[in-house]
Amino acid sequence: MKGILDKGFNPMITVFRGFEENVNKVGGQKIAIAIERNKGQISRIDMEIFKDDTGHDEENFKIAERMTKALLWVHGGYKIIVGGSDIVGNRLKVAYTEKGIRAFDADFMSTVYEKQFTVEIVPYDKVPAAYEKSEAVGRMLNGNCIGFDAGGSDRKVSAVIDGKPVFSEEVVWHPKKNSDPSYHYAGILDAMKTAASHLPKVDKIGVSTAGVVIDNRMMVGSLFIKVSKEDFDKHVKNIYLDVAKELGGVPINVANDGDVTALAGSMELNDGDVLGIAMGTSEAGGYVDKGGNITGRLNELAFVPVDFNESAMVDEWSGDYGCGVKYFSQDAVIKLAPMAGIDLDESLTPAEKLKVVQGLMKEGSEAARKIYETIGVYFAYAIAFYSMFYEIKHVLILGRVTSGDGGVVILENANRVLREEFPDLFSKIKLHIPDENSRRVGQSIAAASL
């Protein structure tokens, strides 16, 4: 593969398309995989696999397992429904058990949706049709609004009147180091009250927060990593709703920060079908649809497989290989450094290792440049794969990995590969890096517009 350090990289999109071609040559059978999530929403993917019991059962399962995982982490859900192949269905059922290869995924989704995770096998014609309902959240800038952005190192709040910020502040806090949820509650409430003091009244509150949000409730969140499960369930799940009640029952909308970033980009571009990807400690994703609305999908792209190579680096948290977190984060830079001939001091933190490579890039290091070129190649193939699950017109990339010249190189190489390998996508998808000011102010206004 041209211009890439990682010679073992085997893109999911390439593997899937090759599989389709091989099946078409001999004729196959239809299979459908649907996933149910909250509010009765259904995501679904249909494909052709080799006929059962023809010597391709393992190949069928490996493709179906990867596609199921991708669908699950893009959309979210608590029930997988498989139709068209009992062999694939039964293998998936075992995979998502407590001792199966996808035990992490099943447990995570059970926590998010507060339902037992299940896999159901049905005839092909009994698989439910896709049903999604996006909500017109955001873009409502009229009135007196508070926009709150819960970050891991600082919290930002803005008071906004008819779309114009009249007050904003950033306060350093340490949510990831505190086990007492009253610390988080007091910090959030203080920010809200400070912003409210600059408004004649508060009509609504919008919150942008890291983590998984379902119906304005925190289901999983790294900001509360030190909080015990008991305290999380009791005090954190409804933390933003509780703050809104204390402020007099003000209407509130809470959204994942990735979705709010995509919303901010959509507002700035005045267009929809925007996928936002932040390359930082991990890979964070967000999406707004054609109408510029947040969809309620999880968009947890860190766990979406992008590399079919079973020898690829494993994510320590999920225990799975080839997932986005090791391709679009500081981990990707660290992984690629030795391949580029760069030795990084093992005593350094991941953030410090990234800074070393960024420093080399600033000095004009060709080795450092190759790292960012490789990430750009990764990214093009990932965008092509993501386009199987999203309608995409714009992709915003941000995060510390994209800062400086590295981000420019990532974009240049991603565009080159899209142009050469996926001309149909290159003609309709535009890649963007927002400037720092637009990113910060836009996020604040977008949060207030929730």
Between CA 360 and CA 441 the distance in angstroms is 30
Specify the pLDDT at position 436: 55
Kind of pairing between the strands at 252-256 and 274-279: unpaired
Q: Which residue has the higher pLDDT, 259 or 66?
A: 66
Residue partners of 435: CB distance under 8 A and separation at least 6: none
Specify the pLDDT at position 266: 86
Helix (H, G, I), strand (E, B) or coil at 120: strand
Question: DSSP of 44-79, one letter per residue?
Answer: EEEEEEEPTTSS-HHHHHHHHHHHHHHHHHHH--SE
Specify the pLDDT at position 449: 63
Strands of 430-432's sheet in order across: 283-288, 274-279, 394-398, 430-432
Between CA 327 and CA 313 the distance in angstroms is 9
Average pLDDT, the chain: 92
Judged against a pLDDT cut of 80, whether residue 450 lies above it is answered with no
Among candidates 445, 49, 124, which has minimal Cα distance to 268?
A: 445
Specify the pLDDT at position 440: 44
Summarised one tens digit per residue, pLDDT across range 361-396 is: 999 999 999 999 999 999 999 999 999 999 999 999
> What confidence category does residue 441 fall into, taking pLDDT thresholds of 50, 70 and 90?
very low
User: Taking the CB of residue 181, how many other CB atoms lie within 10 A of it?
Assistant: 19
Specify the pLDDT at position 445: 57
Contact (CB, 8 A) for 223 and 213? no
Per CATH, the number for 134-450 is 3.30.420.40
Judged against a pLDDT cut of 90, whether residue 256 lies above it is answered with no
Residue type, 30: K
Specify the pLDDT at position 319: 94
Q: Quick one: DSSP state of residue 330?
A: H
Between CA 298 and CA 117 the distance in angstroms is 16
Among candidates 434, 334, 388, 109, which has minimal Cα distance to 325?
A: 334
Summarised one tens digit per residue, pLDDT across range 136-189 is: 665 566 899 999 988 777 888 999 999 888 999 889 899 989 999 999 999 999
Contact (CB, 8 A) for 44 and 95? no
Phi/psi for 101 (5° steps) reads: -70, -20
Tell me the two tokens of residue 99.
Answer: 């001792």
Specify the pLDDT at position 296: 82
Summarised one tens digit per residue, pLDDT across range 282-339 is: 898 999 999 888 888 999 999 999 999 999 999 988 999 999 999 999 999 999 999 9
User: Taking the CB of residue 272, how many other CB atoms lie within 10 A of it?
Assistant: 18
Q: Which residue has the higher pLDDT, 258 or 52?
A: 52
- 367 exposed, middle or buried (CB, 10 Å; 0-12, 13-18, 19+)? middle
> What confidence category does residue 439 fall into, taking pLDDT thresholds of 50, 70 and 90?
very low
Task: List the single range of 184-188, 247-251, 401-405 with lowest mean pLDDT.
Answer: 401-405
Q: Where are the beta strands (DSSP E) in 173-261?
A: 204-209, 212-214, 217-220, 252-256
Q: Which residue has the higher pLDDT, 442 or 128?
A: 128
> What confidence category does residue 10 fall into, taking pLDDT thresholds of 50, 70 and 90?
very high
Specify the pLDDT at position 433: 87
Residue partners of 262: CB distance under 8 A and separation at least 6: 274, 275, 276, 286, 287, 288, 294, 396
What are the boundaries of each domain within the chain?
12-126, 134-450
Residue type, 283: E
pTM value is 0.89
Phi/psi for 150 (5° steps) reads: -90, 100
- 91 exposed, middle or buried (CB, 10 Å; 0-12, 13-18, 19+)? buried
Judged against a pLDDT cut of 60, whether residue 444 lies above it is answered with no
Mean pLDDT value of segment 271-278: 92
